[in-house]
Amino acid sequence: MPIDIAAGLALCKNALDIVMAVRKAIRDKKKLTDEEIRDYLETLQDKLVDVKTALMEADEENRSLKGQLAEAKRMADFGAEFTTGEGLYWREKYPYCPTCWDTERKAVRLGEIPFDTDRGEIWQCPVHKVHHVTQQRH
Ligand SMILES: [Zn+2]
């Protein structure tokens, strides 16, 4: 079961509380039995393992989010150069699917269907399979 960062921080505090309790016992010249020392160490070990797991999961999630952010930034930069016309987005004379861009911020270049009509050209979104007819020819 994943441990979130807040839970990992709470475990870290618990581990530090144990260390503080042992240090106080030493400062107060209290003799700890072998069993008490073993219990403290086992509890510390368990908490540190959970903290390590939480950090590893947080690192993995962080990497994933950074990847998603970089991809979103790349797409936003790409889309910043779009122009509009005939209900489509255009970039370097090629049309892009308005549905893919408007709903998912994915720049999906439309494929031309080799079927010349009197009205113009037919383009198809490779994702949605929707056809768009344009008067503009490229
Ligand atoms: Zn599409």
Q: Are residues 14 and 74 in the same domain?
A: yes
Predicted local confidence at residue 117, as pLDDT = 65
CA of 32 to the centre of ligand 1 (A): 70
CA of 67 to the centre of ligand 1 (A): 23
Q: Are residues 114 and 61 in the same domain?
A: no
**Residues of the chain below pLDDT 70:** 1-3, 116-117, 136-138
Q: Are residues 70 and 15 in the same domain?
A: yes
Cα–Cα distance for residue pair 89/74, rounded to 1 Å: 17
Q: Are residues 114 and 66 in the same domain?
A: no
Q: Are residues 9 and 58 in the same domain?
A: yes
CA of 128 to the centre of ligand 1 (A): 5
Ranges assigned E (strand) in the chain: 83-85, 88-91, 94-96, 111-113, 121-124, 131-134
Q: Are residues 68 and 104 in the same domain?
A: no
User: pTM of the full predicted structure?
Assistant: 0.60
Q: Are residues 75 and 86 in the same domain?
A: no
CA of 126 to the centre of ligand 1 (A): 7
Predicted local confidence at residue 44, as pLDDT = 94
Predicted local confidence at residue 68, as pLDDT = 94
Range of the domain at 106: 82-134
Predicted local confidence at residue 6, as pLDDT = 87
Percent helix / strand / coil, the chain, rounded to 5:
55, 15, 30
Q: Are residues 70 and 86 in the same domain?
A: no
Q: Are residues 62 and 126 in the same domain?
A: no
Domain count, the chain: 2
CA of 13 to the centre of ligand 1 (A): 50
Q: Are residues 105 and 44 in the same domain?
A: no
CA of 131 to the centre of ligand 1 (A): 10
Last residue of a domain, one of 59, 79, 99: 79
Q: Are residues 92 and 104 in the same domain?
A: yes
Predicted local confidence at residue 120, as pLDDT = 80
CA of 26 to the centre of ligand 1 (A): 69
CA of 75 to the centre of ligand 1 (A): 15
Q: Are residues 23 and 54 in the same domain?
A: yes
Cα–Cα distance for residue pair 39/37, rounded to 1 Å: 5
